[in-house]
Chain A
Amino acid sequence: MRIRKGNRDTREFFTALGFLMPNFLGFAVFGAGPVLFSLVVSFSNWNLQHTVPFRWTVLDNYIMMMKDKAFWMYFFNTVYFMLGMPVAIAGSLLLAILLSQKLRGVIVYRTLFYLPCITSGVALMILWKALYNPDFGPINTIMNWALAKLGINHLLILLGGKAVSAPQWLLSTKNLLAMSVEEIKMTLGQWGLGARDALIFMGIWVAIGGNNMILYIAALSNVPQELYEAAEIDGAGKWAIFKNVTWPQLAPTTFFIVVMSFIGGLQGGFEQARVMTGGGPAGTTTTLTYYIYVKAFEEFQIGYASAMSWILFMIIFAVTLVNWKFGARELNY
């Protein structure tokens, strides 16, 4: 029997809809719905405490946020933690190049370097807490040994300077940009290595052998071999080959990694703050996502926290757009 085209299209449409519906409903109820709800709530003073009468506040939350020193301080912290991003990306590339060589047991090396990505984040953070122990942690043990054995302090004193000691890491509010604790300004006394830097170093360690490395390895394997052969015939050295062949061929991957790193960086810091530092000392490791959590689920200011989430989204969106506008321009492949 011949099925008329119209009927068949309708039937296929409903069949497709039937398959799509579970996923779509899940997305609508648990994804899009709450997101839109949070947007609506951000224009209200919704507070889980019923003594605060509900009212629409229009843009009050957003205006309050602009005046909230803590918001800016924690936004700064978030940006500070992203300073490790270029190092992490460069490290991933270097590692990917090394692991793309024809080495014996390269699969084992790749697996080992990827291990931090498949290990529980909490376990890693506890490990790093032990590494950063100021007195007995391996990092400071080595640093103190080096300071003593290599005569660095002796030299510093001879040069008229002061002796230095190993940093207090997670216990210290000091940082490499000498930023003050409660305000976004520089204070010389704050210069040093502290909790912020400790978290950056840990982030770099995790990121170098992570997904970025895998992406680079995949991209490297896709570079046409004839390009390398042509370059070699032309007499190009290793650096010239990397600069003129490998790097341009990796541009789309690098662009993707940069965009994703920006997004991840702006959303990051929650786990570290929750597990390692509680956002301290003195709020120096509190990032925007952790602050949103505190405002929403500890202080119950759901409206204000929603507004912050939307501002964070807008920042991420704007940064991604800028990346696309200027980054995509450089893509030739």
Chain B
Amino acid sequence: MKYVFLGSLICLLCLSLVAWVIRPAALQEGKTALVWVCDDNPVRREQVDLFNQLNPDLHLLLDPNNADMQKVIVQSIAGVGPDLFSSYDGIQLSAYVNSGIAWDVTEKLAQSGIDVENDLWRAADPTFIYEGRVYGFPANVAVNAIWFNKDIFDDNKIPYPEGELTWEQLIDLAGKLTIFEKDGRIRHFGLLFDFAWVQQFIKLWGADIYTRDGARCTLDSPEAIAAVQFMHDLIYKYKVAPSPVQESAMATQGGWGTGVITWFGGSRGAMAMGGRWWLCLLRKYEKLRLGAFAVPHGPARKYLSYGKSVLVNKFSPRRDQAFRFLTYMFDKPYNDLVNHQADALAPVKKYCYTQEYLHDPEYPQEDFNAVWRDVMNYGEPEWVSPYVSGSVVYRILTIQLDQVKADQKSAEEAMKAAARLINEEILKNLEQNPSLRESYRKLPGKEKR
């Protein structure tokens, strides 16, 4: 037995030696280490490297393992949180602000000469502006357009779409490009889109999830119902987009929730609705020849725009140094890098109006960059209601949309049920939260229930 223990000890010593040899390099003296929790990918690492290069006294580290919102909040409250963290939507921002960990940088940004109102695209506003106060800076912004696969168009001898299309024209085109093999397997669908992006269609149809003051859910409006009905029709009436079963057949793993980008990259769709940031992945499909055009607009020329922001931890002892990351994101090198990486669009408007953005010398075949920038001018972000938790709304909406997508419930029934349940949640919150009730009471009467 003693040899077993001795062997184990030697083994552990060897492993410790290996760990010691491969340990990360120690921080150079005089440098301050900062931690940013964010999703990890090569694009992000390049952004971090550039920051470190431009700020020799700082050393920013990426921590992808603690990026969950719950972890960020709990760790920050406990005093061991990151210096910087990302906010992906209004739901997250409201949680960060309401838990008291997001640092209000309204005045500091203004003092740095940053005009949040005029210098930036509005797309990421819900991810860093809350009740008129600024809590961070957008890392990138996005809006969706229609990607198309040139090879599939060529194979079917269909000319590339040009200019603005109507939905009728797009459906007709998608119908011609939805092709099955002889054995019934799908070769490619005409149009791929993610059903969870319901807000996008709702915006196109001129509706919103809430009234402007956020006091009432309006998913039961005729426009919102028509938008969801249209999404359903793309699958079941026009049959140009995959049903859940067909999606599952295209997925490698099967099951609920798999990636539209991967299917498009794998030529399973002739067209797909997505953002410029898809390029980060699509560039890896070397033979893919791409084009893009604007999504046909519905009754309203409004597109859902979205983005991601970086926030500073209010409790960080290094928050002043962390703030420098926000000003870095305002400067040209970062914005040019984002545009070059195709990590959606740069947050500062003027850097999307350059020749480098339109025609990146490294990617000469990408002649479609103007599409996203032009659509961005019609972009409108989705704001969250202060009266109901975004996570609750998401849960309720998902249950209803799952049923519409599976053709088990009509769009009208589902949206009415969703609106009713969300409005019930709002009432429940008002009942339980006196400060919320007070703010609700002060609302001008028009949009209240």
Q: Which residues of A contact B (CB under 8 A)?
A: 45, 48-53, 60, 126, 129-130, 132-137, 168, 170-173, 181-182, 276-278, 280-283, 294, 297-300
Contacts and interface: CB of A to CB of B under 8 A. Distances in A.
Contacts of B256: 170-171, 276-278, 280-281
A122 B436 CA distance: 41
10 contacts: A50-B99, A52-B432, A133-B254, A134-B249, A173-B406, A276-B256, A280-B398, A283-B398, A299-B392, A300-B391
A172 B435 CA distance: 42
Nearest to A132: B254
Contacts of A168: 244-245, 248
Contact of A129 (B246, B255, B400, B433): B255
A181 B402 CA distance: 11
A48 B257 CA distance: 29
Interface in B351-402: 389, 391-392, 395, 398-400, 402
A281 B406 contact: yes
A147 B387 CA distance: 53
A21 B251 CA distance: 53
Given A45-B432, A49-B99, A53-B435, A136 B249 contact: yes
Contact of B255 (A136, A182, A276): A276
A49 B95 contact: yes
Contacts of B249: 133-136
A49 B406 contact: no
B98 interface: yes
Q: Give the dominant DSSP class at B's interface.
A: helix
Interface string B424-449: 00000000111110000000000000
Contacts of B406: 171-173, 281-282
Given A49-B95, A135-B245, A299 B255 contact: no
Contacts of B77: 48
B100 interface: yes
A278 B257 contact: yes
Contact of B254 (A130, A172, A283, A300): A130
Nearest to A277: B256
Closest 7 CB pairs of A and B: A133-B254, A135-B249, A49-B98, A282-B402, A129-B255, A281-B402, A51-B98
Nearest to B408: A173
B16 interface: no
B386 to A, nearest CB: 8
A323 B93 CA distance: 48
Interface string B70-89: 10011001000000000000
Given A53-B435, A297-B70, A137 B389 contact: no
B253 interface: yes
A135 B249 CA distance: 5
A51 B77 CA distance: 14
B403 interface: yes
A216 to B, nearest CB: 32
A277 B255 contact: yes
Contacts, number: 118
Nearest to B244: A171
Interface string B158-186: 00000000000000000000000000010
B245 A134 contact: yes
A136 B246 CA distance: 10
Contacts of A283: 395, 398-399, 402
Contact of B433 (A52, A126, A278): A52
Given A133-B248, A280-B402, A283-B399, A53 B389 contact: no
B244 to A, nearest CB: 5
Contacts of A52: 98, 432-433, 436
A45 B95 CA distance: 16
Contacts of A48: 73-74, 77, 95, 99
Contacts of B94: 49
A50 B436 CA distance: 12
Contacts of B70: 297-298, 300
A298 B391 contact: yes
A81 B84 CA distance: 42
Contacts of A60: 432
A136 B254 CA distance: 9
A181 B100 CA distance: 38
Nearest to A301: B389
A299 B99 CA distance: 12
A178 to B, nearest CB: 13
A300 B248 CA distance: 32
Contacts of A297: 70
Contact of B95 (A173, A276, A300): A300
Contact of B399 (A136, A276, A282): A282
Contacts of A134: 245, 248-249, 254
B398 to A, nearest CB: 7
Given A48-B73, A280-B398, A137 B100 contact: no
A277 B257 CA distance: 8
A39 to B, nearest CB: 20
A288 to B, nearest CB: 15
A173 B403 contact: yes
Contacts of A53: 433-435
Interface string B253-275: 11111000000000000000000
Nearest to A45: B432
A294 B395 CA distance: 9
A133 B74 CA distance: 38
B403 A181 contact: yes
A317 B428 CA distance: 31
B399 A132 contact: no
Contacts of B99: 48-50, 300
B387 to A, nearest CB: 11
Given A134-B248, A168-B245, A171-B244, A181 B408 contact: yes
Contacts of B98: 49-52
Interface in B396-417: 398-400, 402-403, 406, 408, 417
A171 B403 CA distance: 10
A276 B239 CA distance: 27
A50 B96 CA distance: 10
A45 B428 CA distance: 13
A129 B94 CA distance: 35
Contacts of B402: 173, 280-283
A51 B435 contact: yes
B435 A300 contact: no
Contacts of B432: 45, 52, 60
A130 B255 CA distance: 8
B436 A51 contact: yes
Contacts of A181: 399, 403, 408
Contacts of B74: 48
Contacts of B434: 53
